[in-house]
Structure 1
Amino acid sequence: MARIVFDLDGTLIDSVPDIAAAANATLAEVGVAPLSLAEARGFVGEGAGVFVERMAQARGLSEPARLMPRFLHHYERAVGLTEIYPGVAASLDALARAGHRLGLCTNKPARPTEAVLAHLGWQERFEVVLAGDSLPSRKPDPAPLRAAFDALGDGPMIYVGDSEIDAEAARRAGVPFLIYTPGYRSADLQDLPHAAAFDDWSEVLAIVATMA
């Protein structure tokens, strides 16, 4: 059976509405116009620090580090607008029943990750959860991905994500990559190395069966 590690935002869940809400609550506190959903979606992927830097740059704000505590205050509570992508829960259940070991590796900080997993009832869903601040580095550095697989024991490795950050992390870790195409990527699909692409979560069990 395989070790399967998943990205979170843009792969298992659509969290952009909550992230945008946290960003806009922060911007409102400093009297600046809100982000659109499209802007927030484009800023997601490389961790909260990079998101805040991009947000500040887009609104002409200096010293983004000063916005970080405000943003995290809101982000750690932003769960009510997040939705699981259709078919994800059933696919995760099917993979677990088939004996695959499941882990999570996200660039989302630990406290927002814990909050959204609790909100979704997923506290026990994954055997290992590595967040963006669990280790000194984050994706696309391969270290978090390798650590997640190491924690799952032995067996074939598969990483499931949605973005160029995920594709690069998988490439650098030497792990087969499955890409969920409706996610948050900005690059063209053909430009991202991947073993398989899918747009329907009901396809995943069959794809994994050909690889494990």
Structure 2
Amino acid sequence: MSIQAIAFDLDGTLVDSIHDLARAANAARADLGLAPLAQDTVESYVGDGAASLVARVLADDMAAEFDGSELQQKGMTQFNLHYRAGLTIATKFYPKVQETLHALHERGLPLAIITNKPERFTLPLLRELGVFEHFDVIVAGDTLPERKPSALPLAHTADKLGIELENMLMVGDSKNDILAAKNAGCPNVLVSYGYGDELEKMGADAIIHRFDELFAFLEE
């Protein structure tokens, strides 16, 4: 295995954004006359993009899907307003992320973001956090016709970087990240501190507990 580039998930992998997501979600619920949800509940609904998050938050149901109803459209509008106005109020990098990204960038290793978060949030968030320039390719949840767990975002990224999928490492925190990597034939690493659970059952190539443990994986 020769790693020639690394693709990262965003929320739960590079940044802890749940406080700002939960704040915006509950502000949208309040606008619609609904009581707030616990942060842990909102966290359990994260991972499949903003539309899915809004549908689940409004229904307080993991099985809810975005069907374009009037209530969901209003909820989406309000969530967009609240979240875009406060992308980085409490959002922060996990330990050692900034230093590791900088070191990898200095090594000349191409880096990418592959997230299910929409572009309208992903791009300004990366800019506000000061790491936008570290990434050679950024694929958000609405950049392509399909998002993770589809292999398409990974295949698109590898193509943009001019490398084979088997030489691109996917680093994430959830089932969607591992499924996408397996569907694409990419080596993969899970971080243990993110929003995923039952990590041992996902069949990742490795699980790391701190972000800079990536170096040991790469050296192996």
TM-score category of the 2 structures, normalised to the smaller one: over 0.9
Q: CA deviation at 1:160?
A: 0.3
1: distance between equivalents of 2:134 and 2:149? Answer: 24
Question: For residue 86 of structure 1, what is the amino acid of its counterpart?
Answer: P
**Contact conserved, 2:32 with 2:75, CA < 8 A, in 1?**
no
Paired AA for residue 82 in structure 1: T
Q: What's the counterpart of residue 132 of structure 2?
A: 123
Q: How many residues align?
A: 208
Distance in 1 (alpha carbons) for counterparts of 2:194 and 2:168: 21
- Residue 77 (1) aligns with residue 85 (2): yes
- String of CA shifts for 1:100-139, please: whole Å, max 9, x gaps: 1100000001011112112101121101111111111111
Deviation at 1:92, TM superposition (A): 1.0
Alignment partners' CA distance in 1, 2:75 and 2:31? 10
Question: 1:179 — aligned with what?
Answer: 190
CA shift, 1:149, in A, is: 1.8
Question: In 1, are the aligned partners of 2:158 and 2:168 still within 8 Å (CA)?
Answer: yes
- Equivalent residue, structure 1, for 2:112: 103
Query: TM-score of the superposition, structure 2-length normalised?
Result: 0.89
* Length-normalised TM-score, structure 1: 0.93
- Residues 3-152 of structure 1: pairs in structure 2 closer than 5 A: 3-58=5-60, 63-78=71-86, 79-152=88-161
Q: Specify whether residues 40 and 66 from structure 1 end up closer, same or farther in structure 2 by C-alpha distance, changes over 3 A only.
A: same
1:209 and 2:209 equivalent? no
Percentage of pairs with the same residue: 40
Secondary structure of the residue aligned to 1:67 is: helix
2:105 and 2:134 in contact (8 A); partners too: no
Runs of 4+ in 1 over 4 A off after TM superposition: none
For 1:190, the aligned partner's letter is E
CA shift for structure 1 position 141: 1.0
Q: How large is the Cα RMSD of the aligned pairs?
A: 1.7
Aligned 8 A contact 1:110 1:131 in 2: yes
Tell me the secondary structure at the aligned position of residue 92 of structure 1.
Answer: helix
CA distance, structure 1, for counterparts of residue 126 and residue 37 of structure 2: 25
Identify unmatched segments of 5+ residues in structure 1: none
Q: 1:97: how far off?
A: 2.3
Query: How far apart in 1 are the matches of 2:219 and 2:106?
Result: 13
Question: Is the partner of 1:45 in helix, strand or coil?
Answer: coil
Q: What SS is found at the alignment partner of 1:116? A: helix
